[in-house]
Chain A
Amino acid sequence: MKLMVSVKRVVDYNVRIQVKPDGSGVVTDGVKMSMNPFDEIAMEEALRIKEAGNAEEIIAVTIGEQKAQEQLRTALAMGADRAIHVEVDEDIQPLTAARVLKALADKEQPGMVLLGKQAIDDDQGQTGQMLAALWDRPQATFASKVDLDGQKAKVTREVDAGLETIEVDLPAVVTTDLRLNEPRYVKLPDIMKAKKKPIDTTSLADLGVEAAPGLKVTNTAPPPERQGGKKVESVDELVSELKNRGLI
């Protein structure tokens, strides 16, 4: 079986996000970019499935600018066998991403497509679900445990009320949650070897995919600045302070 893993280039989780003065988006000039952490977990899970002998090949896919190849190289260094870069310069919306992955799934026929449950840049959290619908295959989202059993996968999901275990027929879409695994450290010799692994480059047009311009970002604003706290001496003072501010 083949596994397909989608990885997205996002602003690194350590970066203090700054909104552009004109509100048109966030500053990415000089900012560190990395693989979306949830995608790293998806990648790690694929590696574990392969290492357990349940898959033969892992294909990493990214949709994005030329530089997104850096994230594909990371996926290859982690252990993906080959990579596909769908080169697009504009921001990608979930529906477009889902259409691309559907087109690639038709072509590559993977037994499972693994994605992060969301990307930490826009936190949309829709791509996996949309892909399952377009591809007309089962979905197991927010996975915290994945067990393969022949043509089926048993997946534990993190839901509001606790954990839920479901069984899906393969091929299926799995989106990964934080607790599924801890991604491995990339080894230096593997980074070197990854430079020699193949990356196929393609485009929306090549795949016959139409971009979905459904969403439009009208404004980006930072959260309001936290007002400094104030220490009060007594309960009375606290009550009067709350009253003064119209909070009680």
Chain B
Amino acid sequence: MSERDVMEYDVVIVGAGPAGLASAIRFKQLNEELEVCVIEKASEVGAQILAGAVIEPEPLDELLPGWRDNPPNICVPVKRDEFRVLRKGGSSRFPTPPQMHNKGNFIVSLSAVCKWMAPQAEELGVEIYPGFAAVEALFENDKVVGVRIGDMGVAKDGSEKSGYTPGVDIKAKLTVFAEGCRGSVTKQLIKKYKLDEGKSPQTYGIGFKELWQLPEGRVEAGKVMHTFGWPADKMTYGGSYIYHLDKDRLAIGYVVGLDYEDPELKPFEMFQQLKHHPEIKPLLEGGKILSAGTRAIVEGGWQSMPKMEMPGALMVGDCGGTLNVPKIKGTHTAMRSGMLAAEHAVANELSPEGYDALLRGSAVGKELKRVRNMRPGFRKGLWPGIVNAVFETVTFGLAPWTLENHADWSSLKKVNEYTPPERDFYQRDLPPKDRLQSVYFAATDHDEDQPIHLHVLDTDICVTKCREEYNNPCTRFCPANVYEMVEDEEQGLHLQINSANCVHCKTCDIKDPYQIINWVPPEGGSGPNYQNL
């Protein structure tokens, strides 16, 4: 085996999303001497970032004053908000909940925002390395001292190919994890240091998005619309977002809470149905999809946020769950947590100690605490959820209680214990036809000759217990049709993993009812190549 190179920095940041980049910029602004590097598993910065996205601009105003004169390529001021509850065939307009007022906010592509932030960080001297994934943390005396980058050139069977290149070890005085929702290294660390002890389990949703080019004149640039209700049944938390951009472009997406109970539910199909609602379909007809993707979204909020510090390292952004669910916004809090991490570390000789308390007491913590009971309120269904949300809003979240979250994988009901609701779905004719066609719009790419990056710890369960109890839900919740049950003479009925289609959403890692799917980063640079998502 070839030697493993070691590189040393003051600070290494894992993940070039809004949290990681904001943190990197802040570190350099506060102390230009610090050597800061950011590693990113996508082939380029932003290529695996997906969000609505309406963002609150205040953190950017603080971090990059003057950014409004040099905005990212998609940046449309919000003009008006609309909030509707859908039923099949119709809808009712509701007053927009106060958390969803978007005056002063901007519709952007978060992927493009990151691509725009990266060179600004580089100008300050931050070194950014896309195409390299962190696979594990490095430890010394039980303290995190950096990360190991994945090897390149390993064949599917684990042998070394001719171009085999061992990944480097990046050592740093402080490691900042900014992996986003359900980070794969963060997951190991939360377990190792028991960072979730005494917290509610983390919860998630699965979020779809498509960017459309529409016939001229249909789009009302700056209009923001959210819907609740259909096609989700009463017990499933689901809602859409429809954001009107400039240049006749429209962003449309759908989020399904992963605490859904129906083992037969197909989240991808729900999104496609939403597009066929009679009030939405006319908007899209005749247009074409520019790009599409899927990403899990963290929903646990305040009570599920793990301890954000550990010896030698910190967490920032959604790998710790800083997203504000009622607002469906996590960008501003991710950026703020990243900036705060840098401010804390620079003031304390790069020590992580005390950051967790600082974050909880900061504007981010206050914002999350205030809305902590909103999302769990929807566990009893849509209407009780809305009533609870109204109560929490008028009382400013001052109720003395905190509603608990429950792990998403545990909420799935067994096939024989559940009668699925009447779905009565539309015949579909808008693209994409199916999940494979959607994957094509994600431009996902994995070298086929590499180890499968979805580790299913026990594939016997798939043909026995899981088939019986849940009818293999992975074949339905995966947005990219990665999991298929196939039968052939050689192996009989078995699970086939089409890992090359994976769009790195992490849903399987979260929702699998036996918690035996482990998502690990494939070879650096693999995965979706999102454009303007």
Contacts and interface: CB of A to CB of B under 8 A. Distances in A.
B115 A30 contact: yes
Interface stretch (A52-60, A121-129, A148-156, A181-189): A181-189
Contact of A32 (B7, B43, B440): B43
A189 B7 contact: yes
Given A30-B73, A185-B152, A12 B165 contact: no
A188 B168 contact: yes
Most buried by B among A21, A32, A183, A186: A32
Interface in B397-451: 440-441, 443, 445
Contact of A182 (B47, B131, B162, B441): B162
Contacts of A18: 290
B127 interface: yes
* Chain A binding surface, main DSSP class: loop
B47 A30 contact: no
Nearest to A31: B531
B153 interface: yes
Interface residues of A, number: 20
Contact of A188 (B7, B115, B443): B7
Contacts of A188: 5, 7, 129, 132, 149, 168, 170
Nearest to B216: A21
Given A14-B445, A30-B532, A32-B531, A185 B165 contact: yes
A189 B170 CA distance: 10
Contacts of B49: none
A192 interface: yes
Contacts of A196: none
B44 interface: yes
B163 A184 contact: yes
Interface in B83-142: 109, 112, 115, 127, 129, 131-132
14 contacts: A12-B529, A15-B443, A16-B440, A16-B443, A30-B109, A30-B115, A30-B532, A31-B531, A185-B152, A187-B168, A188-B5, A188-B132, A188-B149, A188-B168
- Cβ-closest 7 pairs across A and B: A185-B152, A185-B165, A30-B532, A188-B168, A14-B445, A14-B529, A189-B5
Interface of B: 5, 7, 43-44, 47, 73-74, 109, 112, 115, 127, 129, 131-132, 149, 152-153, 162-163, 165, 168, 170, 213, 290-291, 440-441, 443, 445, 529, 531-532
Given A16-B291, A30-B109, A191-B129, 9 more contacts: A16-B441, A16-B443, A18-B290, A30-B73, A30-B112, A31-B531, A184-B163, A188-B129, A189-B7
